Amino acid sequence: MVMDINEIREYLPHRYPFLLVDRVTQLTTGESIVAYKNVSINEPFFNGHFPHHPIMPGVLVLEALAQVCGILGFKTVNKLPADGYVYYLVGSDNVRFKRPVMPGDKLTLEADVIKGKRGIWKFACRAKVDGELACEAEIICAERKVA
């Protein structure tokens, strides 16, 4: 299964400049997802992080991973933000940053379901650049009705 940016926008309520997923390349409902973000020098955060040595803030790498977790969660339970649901990032454990993410990188985002119960999901996540690990984390998301 492949999702382009138009379908991704149906499954994530985020919009520019906070939508951090460009394409989903693999998705197995209830199991795993692989997606990517093309990192461009035009990203607004590069103006201040850091002007002479631009790197993507680690918290935004973690946010990008959380967004793919949200897509996988929504696809698994067959719900949409338009139905009044949202996935909140409620926790992260064992977060480790291994290399900087820089302009021009293609950030591959991977998440595997560890467990899901009553709207609380735990995922094993990895962010990679050219196959090299940039970040790993366990991410916890909670599905909530907001409308």
CATH code of 108's domain = 3.10.129.10
- pLDDT tier for residue 75 given thresholds of 50, 70 and 90: very high
- The boundaries of the domain holding residue 47 are 5-145
Please give the tally of structural domains in the chain.
1
Q: pTM of the predicted model, to two decimals?
A: 0.97
Active site (annotated) includes residue 49: yes
**Average pLDDT of the residues of the chain:** 96
Percent of the chain with pLDDT over 90: 98
Contacts of 94 (CB under 8 A, 6+ apart): 136, 137, 138
Annotated active-site residue in 14, 49, 52, 53: 49
Task: Output the pLDDT for position 11.
Answer: 96
Q: Output the CA angle 102-105-110, nearest 5 degrees.
A: 110
Task: Output the pLDDT for position 147.
Answer: 65
- pLDDT tier for residue 1 given thresholds of 50, 70 and 90: low
